[in-house]
Amino acid sequence: MPNGSLDNHLFGEQEEILSWDRRYNIISGVASAINYLHNEYDQKVVHRDLKASNIMLDSDYNARLGDFGLARALENEKTSYADIGGLPGTIGYIAPECFHTGKATRESDVYGFGAVVLEVVCGKRPWTKIAGFQCVADWVWTLHRENRILEAVDERLGDDFNTEEAERLILLGLACSHPISGERPKPQTIVQIISGSVPAPYIPPFKPAFVWPMTEPTGDSSMTNTQYTTPMPSSYYGASQESNTGYSDLYTV
């Protein structure tokens, strides 16, 4: 791809700042690619490593999702997951439930997409520590609660961005970054939100806690779906590596 990677344009030594229109178009292209993989390709596929460095740009700055070395076909519509056998991917883009299941799903791909959306809009890597927060998503969620959401837009753009589109993408990024996988929007809905054919999703003022259903070993069937708030490992936050990392190196259950 003649224009290299999205990551290089956001964080490399580029003289030209990636314009708002190009950023919006890139996000739209990636959303279409995910929808194609999940719903339109003959065999449903999860990418498993969505991140800015895997998004390539053609001569017109159209997005091309690349690096399918970790991609897996979903077994069927009932299971809808791919066994990982270790946890490949890049910290900051990996959904929290993957640390428990060791499985990639369409929902975990959506989580990675949400990280990319916030990265493109804010001009900051997902794991960036900012204003006392451990990651960009937490910072943006607080700005949303305080009705200051547009302060999250990459300051290098100045005022040269569409405020309605920016708010739409930030809310979408937060929706895709929801700690609970079932609350994340589907790819079809994501495409519609970006096109403006459906409104931006509702985002609660406070970021919900990540909870994981666990089976209580008491034999009491009423307790089999109890949800426990589960802290993420400290290495999940503030990481700076781009390499794929084994599951056992990240989190021990």
Q: Which two tokens stand for residue 88?
A: 């490949």
Residue 25 lies in a domain: yes
Question: What is the domain extent for residue 27?
Answer: 6-250
Q: Which two tokens stand for residue 144?
A: 């949303």
208 CB-near residues (< 8 Å, 6+ apart): 178, 179, 180, 183
Give me the number of domains the chain comprises.
1
- Which tens digit of pLDDT belongs to each residue from 29-76? 999 999 988 887 777 778 778 889 889 999 999 998 876 544 455 554
Residue 220 has pLDDT above 60, yes or no: no
Give the phi and the psi of residue 114 in degrees, each rounded to 5: -60, -40
Residue 1 lies in a domain: no
12 CB-near residues (< 8 Å, 6+ apart): 4
Asked if 30 and 65 count as a contact pair (C-beta separation under 8 A), the reply is yes
Residue 114 lies in a domain: yes
Report, as residue numbers or ranges, the catalytic residues.
Answer: 49
What 3 state SS string does 55-98 have? Answer: EEECCCCCEEECCCCCCEECCCCCCCEEECCCCCCCCCCCCCCH
pLDDT recorded at residue 226:
38
Asked if 154 and 122 count as a contact pair (C-beta separation under 8 A), the reply is yes
Give the three-state DSSP class for 82.
Answer: strand
Global confidence as pTM: 0.80
- Domain containing 36 — which CATH number? 1.10.510.10
- CA quadruple 214, 106, 176, 3: dihedral sign: positive
